[in-house]
Amino acid sequence: MIRNTFIRKACLFSFVVGGFVTAGRLHAQGETHKGLAIEKDRTAGYKASTGSEAKLIEVTDELPCDPGSTVYIGDIIRRVTVLTTHENKVRLVTTVAYEGTCRYSNEQWLDILELKVSGRPGHLHVKCGNMEPGEEHNFNFQLAPNNLFFSPPGPPAPSRHRTPDLPQRKSLNDLTPNGTVVFDASGKWLYKKGNIRRNIYVYVPIGTKLDIESRYAEVIVDSNVREVNARIMNGNLTMRDADKLVLTNSYGSVYVGNIVDARVDLIHGWFHAKNMSILDINSKVSTVELGAQGKVKMISNDDQYEMESAEMISGGKNYGSLRVITLKNSLDLSGVSADIKVHNIDPDVSLVKIDGQYADLRLPVDNLKDYTVYFEGRGSNLYTPFDRGHATDSSFKVTVGTGKKNSFWLKCSNCTLDMK
Amino acid sequence: MDKLKEYLLGHKAGLDVDSPADGAWEQIESKMSLERRGSASWRIRYAVAASLIVLSGAGLWLVIRKDKAPADTAKQGSGINRAPAPRGDSGKAAVNGVASAPPGQNRDGGPKPAGHKTRHEKPMEPSDAVGMIDKSYASLIDFQLKKLRATPLYAENGSYFSFYVEQFKQMDQDEQAVRNDIKRYGLTNEFLEQLINVYQQKLNVLKNLETEINKMNNKVREKQSPRVQPELHYLDI
């Protein structure tokens, strides 16, 4: 009996000891894997390895500015919001996120973030990112080697502006994620954090003229302004009402409010505007959505236009389409292969003149009683609510009512004309 | 009758009622229980031996694993990399379940280690992502270009659509501009999105061109007599 009890106890002891040993090993192994995971994150460079929380402080810069001044805002990649203020100064406000003990002054942070308000009275410069005032970007780039990402980094491009130092743990081959940069105590780029959103606010006096140059960035003009001159490349611009807008936009999206006078150049862009009194637009391969328009002068190539209403439309339109819900005064366009559709022709419209080919035209005359139609064009399909009388294969002239109120001068070969 | 027979017949009653002696069954039972107890103790011994063997085996296996794991951890964590293996070893490494390092350098600028255990999937390199985007869009664009080149123009020659050809060339330069910016500022999501946008716009331009060609061809062909053989043109794009 004693021997049996001893064996049982020995067995139990060995199991217990074995279990502890195994559990200990497994625990140790788990720690090792955890360590690997931490190392993996650290290698990735985007996650805090220490787990310490980022702190936020406000950074500002400002200069006195008269209300009638021009304020230049140069922005690359950053998100900038412009607001008007009753104070006679330009003020830049943003936040910076950091870990550890902050040893930097406001000015030093501004330098690190490449933010600055400078200039002379009447013409101030706000730098948001590595693009200083007056820097012109040549669109005719020289071709570079195709193997861009594996080519050794060469000397910096000859430029009078400093290329920012590559942040810590970042090389040309790294894809930085979205988010706001968090710095360490020594001002180095530590990582990016997605749940922190850094906005750069620029306050300008009411009545200021804005001169904006933006690349790969989002600019929001969140107040009504007097005048905006903007060059947007590969970015977005959202703005409220303005008296005057001069816009150049390539590969970008632009939303604007009500504008009195607008001059717009678009290339591969998207332009949405509310009501404008005068619009002079030159566009290529773009989409344009407009509210109620006064006088529109366009040079368009392969664009899609939509307008709620327009008083006068004139210019050239090649390819693409133009759709107007209500035409109020006149339309005079020439070009090739441009589909033009007007849903409602107001009785006050004096002239509709189109010179084109290979186009679909829709010009309903339901609302009209006294109009004249001159049509010329071979190989067209015609759908009219009136009898064309002695029409030949290529032309006709028809007068309905007195024929004096509205005139249609249409020259279009191989077109489809629908006036029903 | 012999004497034995006589004896048996004389003691017949005594022979039939013969019973075991007192304590005989207890003695037998005690012997049997001793044998049973002896066999049970052997089973326990076998079980203990087997469990000890299993435990010692598990302990030995964990010790071996522990000895390996810190080596890998140290290798990855300390940044100390092995010397790059000669090219000839790459195939051998692959056979042994060790992933060969991609071309290029690591973050520290040093050469990549010859290989490491593939315990987790390696995240895709950004340059790979750009390469994949290039490759997929390039094949789409090539497909669209081939289609357009093979589409006959029934009414106009290629110069009628010269705008699209010029625009397409211009977009090559725009694409290169984005690449130059990536080179200058580093690769960010904004640049990557823009690169995709340029490719998308290229496809849009080609799609628009196709639409315009089809529109023109349809308008001309529906009016043409089937007996008339139209002069065909092709696009040089």
Q: Is the pLDDT of residue A36 over 50?
A: no
Q: Is residue A284 part of a domain?
A: yes
Give pLDDT, residue B25: 78
**Can you tell me the distance from the alpha carbon of A318 to that of A285, in angstroms, rounded to the nearest whole number?**
10
Phi, psi of A11 (to 5 degrees): -65, -45
Q: Is B9 exposed, middle or buried (0-12, 13-18, 19+ CB in 10 A)?
A: exposed
Q: Is residue A164 part of a domain?
A: no
Segments making up each domain of chain B, as ranges? 26-82+92-100+111-121, 126-234
Residues A125, A251, single domain; the answer is no
Residues A131, A253, single domain; the answer is no
Give pLDDT, residue A178: 52
Q: Is the pLDDT of residue A281 over 90?
A: yes
**Can you tell me the distance from the alpha carbon of A215 to that of A235, in angstroms, rounded to the nearest whole number?**
6
> Which of A135, A172, A317, A378 to mutate to probe the B interface, most B CBs <10 Å?
A172
How many pairs of residues across A and B have Cβ atoms under 8 Å apart?
Answer: 178
Residues A178, A61, single domain; the answer is yes
**Can you tell me the distance from the alpha carbon of A375 to that of A356, in angstroms, rounded to the nearest whole number?**
12
> And the tokens for A292?
């109620």
Q: What SS3 class is residue B143?
A: helix
Query: What is the per-residue pLDDT across A305-350, written as a single tens digit (0 to 9) for each?
Result: 999 999 999 999 999 999 999 999 999 999 999 999 999 999 999 9
Residues of chain A contacting residue B168, judged by C-beta atoms under 8 Å apart: none
> Which of B212, B221, B225 to mutate to probe the A interface, most A CBs <10 Å?
B212
Q: Is residue A246 part of a domain?
A: yes
Q: Is the pLDDT of residue B136 over 80?
A: yes
Neighbouring CB atoms inside 10 A of A166's CB total: 14
Beta-strand runs (E) in A217-362: 218-221, 225-233, 236-239, 242-250, 253-256, 259-267, 270-273, 276-284, 287-301, 304-318, 321-334, 339-345, 351-357, 360-362
Give pLDDT, residue B95: 31
Average pLDDT of B122-139? 76
Residues A268, A401, single domain; the answer is yes
Q: Are strands A79-85 and A123-128 parallel, antiparallel or unpaired?
A: unpaired
Q: Is the pLDDT of residue A238 over 70?
A: yes
At B118, the pLDDT band (50, 70, 90 cuts) reads very low
> And the tokens for B13?
């009653």
Neighbouring CB atoms inside 10 A of B220's CB total: 18
Q: Using CB atoms, pick whichever of B76, B179, B197 lies closest to residue A144.
A: B179
Please name which of B93, B134, B5, B176 lies closest in space to residue A141, comparing C-alpha atoms: B176
Average pLDDT of B201-211? 95
CB A167 within 8 A of CB A188: yes
Neighbouring CB atoms inside 10 A of B217's CB total: 18
Pick the residue from chain A with its C-alpha nearest to B34. A1
Residues 19-38 of B with CB under 8 A from A: none
- Contact assignment for A251 to B194 by CB distance below 8 Å: yes
What mean pLDDT, rounded, does chain A reach? 80
Angle between helices A2-44 and B24-77 (to 10 degrees): 20
* Cβ–Cβ contact B134 with A under 8 A: no
Residues A212, A269, single domain; the answer is no
Give pLDDT, residue A151: 31
> Which of B37, B51, B174, B203 to mutate to probe the A interface, most A CBs <10 Å?
B174
* Cβ–Cβ contact A337 with B under 8 A: yes
Q: Is A101 exposed, middle or buried (0-12, 13-18, 19+ CB in 10 A)?
A: exposed
Residues of chain B contacting residue A18, judged by C-beta atoms under 8 Å apart: 51, 55, 58-59
Q: Is the pLDDT of residue A24 over 60?
A: no
| B116 compared with A71, residue with greater pLDDT | A71
CB A215 within 8 A of CB A131: yes
- Residue B48's identity, in one-letter code, is V
Residues A195, A257, single domain; the answer is no
**Can you tell me the distance from the alpha carbon of A130 to that of A111, in angstroms, rounded to the nearest whole number?**
11
> HSE of B10 in the Cβ direction (CA atoms, 13 Å)?
7
**Can you tell me the distance from the alpha carbon of A13 to that of A19, in angstroms, rounded to the nearest whole number?**
10
Query: What is the per-residue pLDDT across B84-109, written as a single tens digit (0 to 9) for each?
Result: 333 333 333 333 333 333 333 333 33
Query: What is the per-residue pLDDT across B145-196, written as a single tens digit (0 to 9) for each?
Result: 999 999 999 989 889 999 999 999 999 999 999 999 888 888 888 888 999 9
Pick the residue from chain B with its C-alpha nearest to A153. B183
Residue A389 φ/ψ region, left for φ over 0, alpha for ψ in the -120 to 50 degree band, beta for the rest: left
Residues of chain B contacting residue A219, judged by C-beta atoms under 8 Å apart: none
At B110, the pLDDT band (50, 70, 90 cuts) reads very low
- Contact assignment for A234 to B190 by CB distance below 8 Å: yes
Pick the residue from chain B with its C-alpha nearest to A416. B219
Query: What is the per-residue pLDDT across A407-417, written as a single tens digit (0 to 9) for each?
Result: 999 999 999 99
Q: Is the pLDDT of residue A153 over 70?
A: no
Number of domains in chain A: 2
Give pLDDT, residue B54: 84
At A131, the pLDDT band (50, 70, 90 cuts) reads low
**Farthest CA pair distance, chain B:** 149
Q: What SS3 class is residue A330?
A: strand
Residues A389, A281, single domain; the answer is yes
At A63, the pLDDT band (50, 70, 90 cuts) reads very high
Q: Are strands A287-301 and A270-273 parallel, antiparallel or unpaired?
A: parallel
**Can you tell me the distance from the alpha carbon of B156 to that of B145, in angstroms, rounded to the nearest whole number?**
19
* Cβ–Cβ contact A85 with B under 8 A: no
**Can you tell me the distance from the alpha carbon of A303 to that of B213, in angstroms, rounded to the nearest whole number?**
16
What mean pLDDT, rounded, does chain B reach? 72
Tell me the sheet residues that pair with A237.
A219, A254
Q: Is the pLDDT of residue A8 over 50?
A: yes
Q: Is residue A333 part of a domain?
A: yes
CB A351 within 8 A of CB A372: no
Residues of chain A contacting residue B205, judged by C-beta atoms under 8 Å apart: 285, 302
Residues 90-129 of A with CB under 8 A from B: none
Residues A247, A192, single domain; the answer is no
To the nearest whole angstrom, how far is the Cα of A213 from the nearest Cα of chain B?
A: 16
Residues A81, A187, single domain; the answer is yes
End-of-domain residue from the set A183, A201, A216 = A216
> And the tokens for A64?
């006195």
Q: Are strands A200-205 and A79-85 parallel, antiparallel or unpaired?
A: parallel
Please state, in angstroms and as integers, the Cα–Cα distance from residue B230 to each residue in A189, A416, B213, B233, following that order: 66, 21, 15, 9
Give pLDDT, residue B33: 63
* Cβ–Cβ contact A285 with B under 8 A: yes
Give pLDDT, residue B135: 87
Chain centre to alpha carbon of residue A145: 29
Q: Is B197 exposed, middle or buried (0-12, 13-18, 19+ CB in 10 A)?
A: middle
Give pLDDT, residue B3: 80
Give pLDDT, residue A225: 96
Q: Is residue A275 part of a domain?
A: yes
At B18, the pLDDT band (50, 70, 90 cuts) reads low
Give pLDDT, residue B48: 83
To the nearest whole angstrom, how far is the Cα of A199 from the nearest Cα of chain B?
A: 16
Q: Is residue A146 part of a domain?
A: no
Chain centre to alpha carbon of residue A18: 66
| B50 compared with A132, residue with greater pLDDT | B50
**SS (HEC) of A102-158:** CCCCHHHHHHHHCEEEEEECCEEEEEECCCCCCCCCCCCCCCCCCCCCCCCCCCCCC
| A391 compared with B136, residue with greater pLDDT | B136
Q: Using CB atoms, pick whichever of B77, B160, B173 lies closest to residue A141.
A: B173
Q: Are strands A236-239 and A218-221 parallel, antiparallel or unpaired?
A: parallel
Phi, psi of A85 (to 5 degrees): -140, 160
For A251, residues 6+ apart whose C-beta sits below 8 A from its C-beta are A233, A234, A267, A268, A269, B174, B194, B197, B198, B201
Give pLDDT, residue A144: 30
Write out the residue range of the structural domain in which residue A129 sits: 54-135+170-216
Q: Is residue A403 part of a domain?
A: yes
Q: Is residue A73 part of a domain?
A: yes
Instruction: Return the residue matching tokens 């061109």.
Output: B209
